[in-house]
């Protein structure tokens, strides 16, 4: 069954029929497995990785380190929830090290992100401090190299 998900993770557009050919598992079984994973939220969503810069669209990303005070009984979960409900926070992780939460924030402009951090994030009760790192250039996204990736340079016919 793992092969089904591995195939889908690489290419979300594969149909159950295609996956069936690739894995040797019947199309009906593939479809059932996918449906169940969607229902269980093992498959969260199907997305496309886009190089927005190439399309001439500006997008600003920042990695925000957040130091918080954990709370009795709920630890970091309650504050994490307060933060991840903001749509600007695209990914939220609890991390070990010098800070607690790592948040990937996306906006149209730097101003968008600055406003979110100063007006929404930093004022939260249990937040002790934030450090914002603006992303200057994306080299690799989700396993894909954005520019200058590797090309296959095989000869067309070899023994």
Partner 1 sequence: MPKTGSSHIKIPRKHISQKVSNVSPSGIRKFFDLLSSMEGVISLGVGEPDFITPYHIREAAIYSLEKGYTMYTSNYGLPQLRQELAKYLESCYGLSYDPDSELLITVGVSEGLDLALRAILDPGDEVIMPDPCYVAYPSCTTLAGGIAISIPTTEENSFEIKAQDIEPRITERTKAILIGYPANPTGAVMPKEELIQIAQLAQQHNLLVISDEVYGQLVYGVEHTCLASLPRMKEHTILLNGFSKAYAMTGWRVGYAAAKREIVEAMTKIHQYTILCAPIMGQMAALEALKKGDSEVEAMVREYDCRRRVMVKGLRDIGLSCFEPKGAFYAFPSIKITGMTSEEFAEKLLIEEKVAVVPGSAFGHYGEGYVRCCYATSLPEIEEALKRMGRFIERHRFQH
* CA pair distance 68, 70, nearest whole angstrom: 6
**Is 136 a residue that touches partner 1 (CB under 8 A)?**
no
**Residue 96 Ramachandran class (φ > 0 left, ψ -120 to 50 alpha, else beta):** beta
**Is 44 a residue that touches partner 1 (CB under 8 A)?**
no
**Is 150 a residue that touches partner 1 (CB under 8 A)?**
yes
Q: Which is nearer to partner 1, 11 or 73 (CB)?
A: 11
Binds partner 1 (CB under 8 A): choice among 23, 27, 59, 70:
23
**Is 152 a residue that touches partner 1 (CB under 8 A)?**
yes
- Closest separation between CB of residue 24 and partner 1, Å? 6
**Is 143 a residue that touches partner 1 (CB under 8 A)?**
no
Written in H, E and C, the secondary structure of 22-76 is HHCCCHHHHHHHHHHHHHCCCCCCCCCCCCHHHHCCCCEEEEEEEEECCECCCEC
**Is 146 a residue that touches partner 1 (CB under 8 A)?**
no
- Closest separation between CB of residue 102 and partner 1, Å? 26
* CA pair distance 12, 142, nearest whole angstrom: 14
């Amino acid at each position: 069954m793992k092969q089904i998900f591995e195939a889908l993770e690489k290419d979300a557009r594969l149909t159950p029929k295609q996956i069936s050919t690739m894995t040797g598992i019947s199309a009906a079984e593939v479809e059932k497995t996918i449906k169940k994973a969607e229902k269980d939220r093992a498959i969260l969503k199907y997305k496309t990785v886009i190089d927005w810069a190439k399309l001439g669209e500006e997008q600003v990303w920042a990695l925000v380190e957040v130091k918080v005070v954990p709370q009795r009984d709920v630890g970091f979960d309650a504050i994490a929830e307060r933060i991840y409900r903001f749509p600007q926070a695209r990914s939220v992780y609890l991390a070990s090290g010098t800070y607690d939460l790592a948040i990937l924030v996306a906006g149209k402009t730097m101003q968008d992100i600055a406003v979110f951090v100063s007006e929404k994030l930093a004022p939260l009760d249990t937040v002790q401090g934030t450090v914002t790192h603006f992303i200057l250039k994306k080299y690799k996204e989700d396993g894909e190299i954005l520019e200058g990736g590797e090309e296959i340079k095989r000869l067309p016919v070899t023994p």
